[in-house]
Amino acid sequence: MPPPGLPPSTDLMIPQTFEWENQTIITEFILLGLSNDPKIQDFLLFFFMIIFLVTILGNMVIILVIKSEFHLQTPMFFFLSHLAFVDICYSSVTVPKMLSNFITKQKSISWEGCIAQIFFFLQTSCTEVFILSAMGYDRYVAICNPLHYNRYLTKEKCNKMMGGAWFLGLLGAIGNVLPLLDLHFCSNNIIRHYNCDLPSLLPLSCAETLTNYIVLLIFVLAFGFSSFLFTLVSYINIISSILKIKSSASRQKAFSTCSSHLIVVGLFYITAFVHYTRPSSESLMDLDKVISIQYSILTPMLNPIIYSLKNKQILSGVEKLFGKCKVFFLS
């Protein structure tokens, strides 16, 4: 018989368990994924494989363009190249495992694999949050204090900001994963999601999880909300400064350089906040999956597209890069 909650037709592998102090301790979990219909799974495999390939290629192109073009060696594009690299890592944490489950039809994941997925997902997502804040600060200085831009955003300061983003991401991952290691899972092993994440995993624990929820809330507020507030204040000042510009052409150019970043920030923050702050509910599980797909799978793919379409320098660099590739292959 399949575990409670699984359709009778499913052919998922039953996870391994072992006895510990008269209790059955789970060492593997079942990821229900997005659908149990084989035809829908085949479509989802193709759909998410295309998204993953576009994500990897798109962000790699952004990195190569910025590295190869001398006039793009500025703080704004320095942060953008790091954002592209983080998006590659961010997407690679969950999508390959999901694609593997579609192919093998075995939706199990080990306890160690689940912990690793949560750790690297938190690491990359927290790092992305602070990179977006650094990019907001860059635009604030460029528009509100253009005469002091080179003094405030030196190469050394940019490197320190980027190192700080990675360090805080690591801190966020460790801070949430360490309390997770004390939990035990002894009854329900079904994760009603396509990947391991804290909001889906914590309700399955047979131990007290209040500490885990408190730690998660603290990090969401300390990292996510504070970063979002910093970015919001930066853009309030930016928009205020832009509206004071008399030339319509200059206003349009200033809005163009900021609009792409605003779109990326909105897509990432809004969906992530909804997912990590709302109470867990079975009735909203499908909506939760859609929200999660938006910020963890679609956003890393959309970022290079948005920046390419909204930034003429990136678009010009992409055209040059493809021109060089065309000449190389033809020769």
pLDDT tens, residue by residue, 207-242: 888 888 888 888 888 888 888 888 888 888 888 888
pLDDT of residue 238: 84
pLDDT of residue 164: 94
CB 219 within 8 A of CB 33: no
**In the numeric block, which tokens belong to residue 198?**
């804290």
Q: Is 299 helix (H, G, I), strand (E, B) or coil?
A: helix
Torsion of CA 198, 199, 202, 203, to 10 degrees: -160
pTM of the predicted structure, to 2 decimals = 0.82
What are the φ/ψ torsions at residue 28 (nearest 5 degrees)?
A: -140, 150
Amino acid at 227: S
Cα separation, 185 vs 26, whole angstroms: 5
Measured in residues, the chain has a length of: 331
How confident is the model over 102-157, as pLDDT tens digits? 888 778 888 888 899 999 999 998 998 899 889 889 988 988 888 888 888 999 99
Classify residue 5 as left (phi > 0), alpha (psi -120 to 50) or beta.
left
Residue 73 has pLDDT above 50, yes or no: yes
Average pLDDT, the chain: 80
Cα separation, 79 vs 201, whole angstroms: 33
